[in-house]
Structure 1
């Protein structure tokens, strides 16, 4: 089940981000930006949704918001023990549905160029690479998916 995050979800969201992104610290040479996000503020702004199992167990989350004519998917993370079960894919599909409901023409996202799994996953979900830039000391790859 996917639902809007509430303030009491913040510890699980922070824990999930820490666990999901920890393996990238040695690869990137520093903490990935999502590990240091202000989740409390994002939750308060209505930008965070969580994925829970039928028994209510937290499995992952997504952060997205409207930005001009598109939705920016800022962060998606899944607990390592839930990886490979379709949680991330379901969260991304949810974001795309919400973007359509909001009348947006596309979903934009970016990932670190050293998160090589993402560079192959997003194209399989219909995303097209549109740019590469260095920002805040991170080398990022930008993707876009036009919505019908």
Structure 2
């Protein structure tokens, strides 16, 4: 059995995405887990599933009752299970080294992502949506590589792994089938002093295209001292491999979190990086027991305004200062 994460490493509570509730398993989910574990179609690439009576005799009253294990719920209905655990030391699988040395066996305790959904919700994007939210929280809380193992023949699962950012690290035989073993490096981490120049370049690339719309006025993020900002705010970076492709500056206040700056390299627009950073801002506010996230943007930055509206931000007011008309938003959590 995989090793559970510890309570102090993983926060209690539920997660919400655009369509899903990720909550801790409960006794009322047991029948759904029995169905999931015994369905031969669901378990085609998982050794075929177990006999239901045998599974019933061994399944706890509350299945998967461990940290970082979640039931996926859509409109009150069970649509799957996802979770993170520590991989057992005896399992095969090598990780590609980032320094050019020979690949090494995945060490004991590496974090592993698992998920199983019943047949009916397949093809609706629930696995991708739930796993993305879980991986974002793993980046925030753990900051570690995450691995995923699936059969080579499981085309659906491999496509999802690719979409979630897993790269193939190894293939091996296990459970009578060839297995695909992938690794995903953290996509978000706290910024450090040496990130300042990379963060400045992201801001320059993200905000410079708006200069023509703003009549030559320079938006504040182009004037920011990012070395000081990394020291003075809660600063995060989004990564593509080892490259900084996005930034997030947060300022906790008495009754909410101010999202002072969020920016993504134009080359990475459309990849979900901005949404991931916005979800992180909400997660950090919840972790600080603060009920809202606030932000503002220039009125000409209509693309940003459209994104904020799509993810639940509400315009509260507009105000002008020194020729800059800003649109203010907040999102209640």
TM-score band, normalised by the shorter chain? over 0.9
Cα offset, 1:137, TM superposition: 2.9
Equivalent residue, structure 2, for 1:15: 201
Separation (CA, whole Å) in 2 of partners of 1:106 and 1:135 = 24
The answer to whether 1:118 aligns with 2:118 is no
Separation (CA, whole Å) in 2 of partners of 1:57 and 1:19 = 14
TM-score, normalised on structure 2? Answer: 0.43
Equivalent residue, structure 1, for 2:238: 51
Separation (CA, whole Å) in 1 of partners of 2:321 and 2:286 = 29
The answer to whether 1:62 aligns with 2:256 is no
Greater helix content:
1
Equivalent residue, structure 1, for 2:259: 73
Structure 1 counterpart of 2:273, from 63, 87, 96:
87
Q: 2:207 is paired with a residue of what secondary structure?
A: helix
Cα offset, 1:138, TM superposition: 1.1
Equivalent residue, structure 2, for 1:127: 313
Q: Is the 8 A contact 1:5 1:46 kept in 2?
A: no
Please give the per-residue CA displacement for 1:22-47, whole angstroms capped at 9, x wherever unaligned. 11001012111111112111101242
Please give the per-residue CA displacement for 1:69-102, whole angstroms capped at 9, x wherever unaligned. 1000011111111111000110010010000000
Equivalent residue, structure 2, for 1:31: 218
**Relative to structure 1, is the Cα distance of residues 135 and 68 closer, same or farther in structure 2, using a 3 angstrom cutoff?**
farther
Q: Larger C-alpha radius of gyration, 1 or 2?
A: 2
> Greater RCO between the two (CA within 8 Å, min separation 6)?
1
Q: Is the 8 A contact 2:197 2:226 kept in 1?
A: no
Question: What is the RMSD of the two structures over their aligned residues, measured on CA atoms?
Answer: 1.0
* Structure 1 stretch displaced more, 87-96 or 30-39: 30-39
Q: Is the 8 A contact 1:5 1:49 kept in 2?
A: yes
Q: Which runs of 4+ in 1 moved over 3 A?
A: none
Please give the per-residue CA displacement for 1:125-145, whole angstroms capped at 9, x wherever unaligned. 100000000124310000010
Unaligned regions of 5+ residues in structure 2, if any? Answer: 1-186
Separation (CA, whole Å) in 1 of partners of 2:326 and 2:225 = 20
Unaligned regions of 5+ residues in structure 1, if any? Answer: none
Cα offset, 1:106, TM superposition: 0.2
Cα offset, 1:67, TM superposition: 1.4
Separation (CA, whole Å) in 2 of partners of 1:79 and 1:121 = 16
Separation (CA, whole Å) in 2 of partners of 1:17 and 1:50 = 12
